[in-house]
Amino acid sequence: MTTAASHLRLDGLTLVTRRHGRPLTLVDGLGLDLRRGQVTALVGASGSGKSLTCLALQGLTPPGVTQTGGRVTVDGRDTAPAALRGRVTATVMQAPRSAFNPALTMAAHARETLAARGITGAEAERRALAAMAEVGLDDPRRVLRLHPFQMSGGMLQRMMLALALLSEAPFLLADEPTTDLDLVLQAQVLALIEQLVADRGLGVLLVTHDMGVVARLADTVTVLDHGRMVEHGPVAQVFDAPAAAPTRALVAAHLALYPDLAPEDAP
Amino acid sequence: MTAATDAEPAPAAAVAAPGRRRRWPWPARIGAGLAVLLVLVALLAPLIAPHDPAAIALTERLQGPSAAHWLGTDHLGRDILSRLMHGATVSLGAVAVILTLIVVLGIGIGGLSGLIGGRVDAVIMRGCDMFLTIPTFVLAMFMVGVLGTGLVNVVLAIALSHWAWYARLVRGLVLTLKEREYVLAARVAGASRLRVFAEHILPGVFAQLVVLLTLDIGHMILHVAGLSFLGLGVTPPTAEWGVMIGDARDFIWTNPLLLVWPGLAILVTVAAFNLLGDALRDALDPTLQAEGDA
What is the tally of structural domains in chain A?
1
* Mean residue pLDDT across chain B: 80
- The residues, ordered by sequence, that sit 6+ positions from A96 with a Cβ below 8 Å of its Cβ are A153, A156, A157, A159, A160, A180
ipTM above 0.90, yes or no: no
Query: Residue B15: its chain A contacts at CB < 8 A?
Result: none
Do the domain assignments include residue A79? yes
What is the pLDDT at residue A261?
A: 60
Determine which of B188, B194, B197, B201 to mutate to test the interface with A (most A C-beta atoms within 10 Å).
B188
Do the domain assignments include residue A81? yes
Collect all residues from B whose CB is shorter than 8 A from any CB in A.
16, 18, 117, 180-182, 184-192, 195, 199-200, 203-204, 291, 294
Residue B241 clears pLDDT 50, i.e. is over it:
yes
Q: Which amino acid is at B221?
A: I
Tell me, letter by letter, the H, E, C secondary structure of A146-187: CCHHHCCHHHHHHHHHHHHHHCCCCEEEEECCCCCCCHHHHH
Distance of CA A87 to the CA centre of its chain: 15
Please indicate whether residue B18 or residue A147 has the higher confidence score (pLDDT): A147
Residue A259 clears pLDDT 80, i.e. is over it:
no
* Mean residue pLDDT across chain A: 87
Residue B17 clears pLDDT 50, i.e. is over it:
no
Closest CA in chain B for residue A82? B190
Closest CA in chain B for residue A83? B190
| CA proximity to A232, closest of A216, A221, A224 | A221
Helix (H) or strand (E) holding A18: strand A7-19
What is the pLDDT at residue B56?
A: 74
Share of chain A above pLDDT 70, in %: 95
A86/B190 CB distance under 8 A: yes
Residue B294 clears pLDDT 50, i.e. is over it:
no
- Convert the pLDDT of each residue in B112-139 to its tens digit: 898 888 888 899 999 889 888 888 888 8
Query: Residue B174: its chain A contacts at CB < 8 A?
Result: none
Are β-strands A203-208 and A39-43 bridged in parallel, bridged antiparallel, or unpaired?
Answer: parallel
Do the domain assignments include residue A266? no
Alpha-carbon span A126 to A132, nearest angstrom: 10
Do the domain assignments include residue A267? no
Q: Three-class SS of residue B63?
A: coil
Determine which of A112, A119, A159 to mutate to test the interface with B (most B C-beta atoms within 10 Å).
A112
Do the domain assignments include residue A75? yes
Local structure of residue A25 (DSSP, 8 states): E
Residue A92 clears pLDDT 70, i.e. is over it:
yes
Do the domain assignments include residue A85? yes
Burial code (b: 16+ CB inside 10 Å, e: under 16) for A13-31 equals: bbbbbeeeeeeeebbbebe
Do the domain assignments include residue A262? no
Query: Residue A103: its chain B contacts at CB < 8 A?
Result: 203-204, 291
Mean pLDDT of A59-66: 85
CA of A230 to nearest chain B CA: how many angstroms apart?
28
Domain interval for residue A229: 7-257
CA of A264 to nearest chain B CA: how many angstroms apart?
40
Q: What is the CATH number of the domain that holds A217?
A: 3.40.50.300
**What's the distance, Cα to Cα, between the start and end of chain A in Å?**
37
Residue B5 clears pLDDT 70, i.e. is over it:
no
